Amino acid sequence: MKKIYLLIILFIFSFSNLFADNSHFIDFRKVLNFSKAGAQAQKDLKSKTESELKKFNKQEESIKSEERKIISEKKSITNEVFKERVNSLRKKNAELQDNKKK
């Protein structure tokens, strides 16, 4: 019974909105740029993006330094160990790229 009343009320409101001449639009760009909440949201998003970018840059540097270390040790280690380390490095790089996409 409650559902029927709810549907009737919803039906009446939808028709009353169709025939009303008062159309209202919200400019979300203005809301985001000039409201306190919008400015705070942009600030938070920017700071989070920058911190994540720094984290990813540190991880990339770590992978690059590990790569240089593996290349420098190539002659002193066996082929199997070298291949294992390269595969491990590739997995780390793939994980980093996946995390960047997310």
pTM: 0.58
| Mean predicted lDDT score pLDDT of the chain | 80
Of residues 69, 100, 76, the one with CA closest to residue 88: 69
Whether the CB-CB separation of 86 and 70 falls below 8 Å is answered with yes
pLDDT for residue 18 is more than 60: no
Q: What b/e sequence results for 46-56 when a residue is b if at least 16 CB atoms lie within 10 Å of its CB, and e otherwise?
A: eeeeeeeeeee
Range with the poorest average pLDDT among 59-63, 85-89, 98-102: 98-102
Residue 26 is predicted with a pLDDT of 74
**What is the CB neighbour count within 10 angstroms for residue 93?**
16
Rounded Cα distance between 9 and 4, Å, is 9
